[in-house]
Amino acid sequence: MKATSSFKKLFELLGGSRNLKLDNFPLNHLRIDSRKVEKNDVFVAIKGHTVDGRAFIPQAILAGAVVVLTETNRKSNDLKIGYIKQDDKSIIPQISVFQLSQRLSLIANDFYHSPSKKLSVIGVTGTNGKTTVTQLIAQCVKLLNEKSALMGTIGNGIYNQLEPSANTTASAIEVQTLLADFVKKQVKVVTMEISSHGLAMDRVKGLNCAATVFTNLSRDHLDYHKTMSKYAKAKWSLFSPDEKEKQVLSAGKSIINYDDKYGKRWIEKLPQVTAVSCQPKSLRQLKALNIPYVGVSMIDYHDKGAKIHMESSWGNAIINSRLLGEFNVSNLLLAIATLLTLNYPFFAVVNMACFLKPICGRMEVFHVKNSPTVIVDYAHTPDALQKALQACRIHCKGLLWVIFGCGGDRDTGKRPLMGEIAEQFADKIILTNDNPRTENEMKIIRDIQQGLHYTDNIQIITDRVQAITQTLEKAKPNDVILIAGKGHEDYQIVGKTKYHYSDQETVKRLLGVENQS
């Protein structure tokens, strides 16, 4: 493999002197995971929340690492070079770097020669809708005969060739490594989910975005951010024009959901912005803003999706969407607005929008004759659960059932809120396990029950397969069953063990279908 950089160049990227005499041997990749290290790689040993990378330096060297970067808390120790003796023949340089974790994204960007400048990177953030918006944009770009790639919850890679991802937003190094690989593969557009964790942990500081998209903001991740204001601040940092606040090298043009209270505020602060609304009453306000906009004058919902009467700064059109629910109208409009803002042809975009398919685990419909309709969705926040249930109600002629739980070792405050929402919008509630992790499963369910006032229509079946099986046996053909919380996930975490499990596989087996969406 051709070297990406050299030791001397790396030292200069870290801020070292150009005049220092150093061996100028070739380097291939930066690696934060010792298991991925190969010959002539640089191993970056930083201390994470649960694992200290310094403990894996010996394994990295054995795997072929020829340089090690470690973090120092003392500015006076910045760029000091020590040496690790591997054997009688080789000595591995170890460079101490001040604030390495915070600088890592920028270092990786420089090491890989600013790959995001050679691509149209679209960063999408928000509590809900990130996966759907990124997938819809990538689908549309593919239909317009351009090569697209994705980075996010479902996976990373070329569209329809995704490798599973550990986090919504990859590590600072992985982000730049993936982008560099996409450049080599002649990708045109990369759509990337950017989580609040990714922003707070400085994973995207070295990113040049052609566009940034905001979907919405509601309660989630307060186990990490503690307050909604801190959570909102993390999201805002993706768009902020303030050099002290911004989390990317360039935010590009911003596409903001005007229907969200945070989005409405942010629109007024941004220099290059397109406003998006799926509320017909907002059209007059959008036009008055004197900025580019995409909105709707009317939406007709039906069993197969929605007929959207769209108005925009680029023109008007009728779009027949195959996606269920008002929130998916918003997601679709955000995707369309992003492509129009990036100067894709109006008629080509709106024509392709009619062919966009539902996303894996996002309001994914399964139905056979004489059986209830089953919808699998990733909804795991109060707001997402409410919107999913409201969308299901539009298509429900009988009883609306909901099967859900809450993740263990995560924000406990949202559990009673989700119970309250389930009671308000569903007819029948089945409480089950999500990913209990190291928490007691009944403790999680009791937390959800705190938001419930009536017990007649509630059943507890902790085994998720049994919960789905028994509900399908009881429900009638005109009923709709929403299975919420896991969506695309093909695993369940109990204790510290990850077991194979999929809501989709369970439903397809019970209904006797391969796939219907």
Q: What range does the domain containing 293 cover?
A: 110-353
CA dist list (Å): 249 to 69, 116, 243, 498: 23, 10, 9, 37
CATH number at residue 173: 3.40.1190.10
Of 176, 237, 165, 177, which is closest to residue 207 (Cα–Cα)? 176
Instruction: Tell me if residue 380 falls in helix, strand or coil.
Output: coil
Q: What is the pLDDT of residues 346-387, one digit of tens each?
A: 999 999 999 999 999 999 999 999 999 999 999 999 989 999
pLDDT, residue 317, reads 97
Q: What is the pLDDT of residues 106-123, one digit of tens each?
A: 999 999 999 999 999 999
Task: For residue 516, tell me if it sits in a domain.
Answer: no
Of 201, 200, 176, which is closest to residue 190 (Cα–Cα)? 176
Domain boundary among 322, 353, 384: 353
pLDDT, residue 513, reads 82
Q: What is the pLDDT of residues 169-202, one digit of tens each?
A: 789 999 999 999 999 999 999 999 999 888 888 8
Same domain, 65 and 166: no
Task: For residue 239, tell me if it sits in a domain.
Answer: yes
pLDDT, residue 220, reads 64
Q: What is the pLDDT of residues 61-107, one digit of tens each?
A: 999 999 999 999 999 999 999 999 876 667 899 999 999 999 999 99
Task: For residue 56, tell me if it sits in a domain.
Answer: yes
Task: For residue 359, tell me if it sits in a domain.
Answer: no
Domain count, the chain: 3
Q: What is the pLDDT of residues 285-296, one digit of tens each?
A: 999 999 999 999
Q: What is the pLDDT of residues 479-496, one digit of tens each?
A: 999 999 999 999 999 999
Q: CA-to-CA distance for 364 and 371, rounded, in angstroms?
A: 16
- Single-letter residue type at 305: G
pLDDT, residue 1, reads 46
Same domain, 345 and 371: no
Confidence of residue 18 (pLDDT cuts 50, 70, 90): confident
Task: Quote the mean pLDDT of the chain.
Answer: 92
- Give CA angle at 47 (249, 224), nearest 5°: 70
Same domain, 293 and 373: no
Same domain, 72 and 211: no
What are 426's two structure tokens?
Answer: 């569903």
Same domain, 210 and 347: yes
Same domain, 493 and 371: yes
Q: Where are the beta strands (DSSP E) in 49-100?
A: 65-72, 81-85, 91-98
Same domain, 430 and 316: no
Q: CA-to-CA distance for 92 and 83, rounded, in angstroms?
A: 5
Q: For 145, list phi and psi in degrees, rounded to 5.
A: 70, 35
Task: For residue 455, tell me if it sits in a domain.
Answer: yes
Task: For residue 104, tell me if it sits in a domain.
Answer: no
Same domain, 35 and 130: no
pLDDT, residue 89, reads 63
pTM score:
0.87
DSSP state for residue 358 in the 8-state scheme: P
CA dist list (Å): 159 to 147, 210, 322, 436, 517: 8, 19, 20, 31, 19
Q: What is the pLDDT of residues 498-508, one digit of tens each?
A: 999 999 999 99
Domain boundary among 323, 353, 383: 353
Q: What is the pLDDT of residues 145-177, one digit of tens each?
A: 999 999 999 999 999 899 988 887 789 999 999
Same domain, 205 and 326: yes
Task: For residue 405, tell me if it sits in a domain.
Answer: yes
In sequence order, what are the beta bridge partners of 305?
302
Q: Which of 190-204, 219-233, 384-398, 424-438 has the lowest mean pLDDT?
A: 219-233
| DSSP string of 111-179, one letter each residue | HTT-GGGGSEEEEEESSS-HHHHHHHHHHHHHHTT--EEEESSS-EEETT-PBP-SSSS--HHHHHHHH
Task: For residue 383, tell me if it sits in a domain.
Answer: yes
pLDDT, residue 245, reads 84
Domain boundary among 52, 78, 98: 98
Cβ–Cβ < 8 Å for 216, 130: no
Same domain, 47 and 134: no
Strands 30-31 and 65-72, bridge-based pairing: unpaired
In sequence order, what are the beta bridge partners of 71?
97
Query: What percentage of the chain has pLDDT greater than the value 70?
Result: 96
Same domain, 315 and 369: no
Same domain, 328 and 447: no
Cβ–Cβ < 8 Å for 14, 95: yes
Cβ–Cβ < 8 Å for 159, 139: yes
pLDDT over 80 (residue 278): yes
b/e for 13-33, b at 16 or more Cβ within 10 A?
Answer: bbebeeeeebeeeebbbbbbb
Half-sphere exposure of 276 (CA within 13 A, CB side): 24
What are 123's two structure tokens?
Answer: 């960063």
CATH number at residue 53: 3.40.1390.10
DSSP state for residue 397 in the 8-state scheme: S
Q: What is the pLDDT of residues 133-143, one digit of tens each?
A: 999 999 999 99
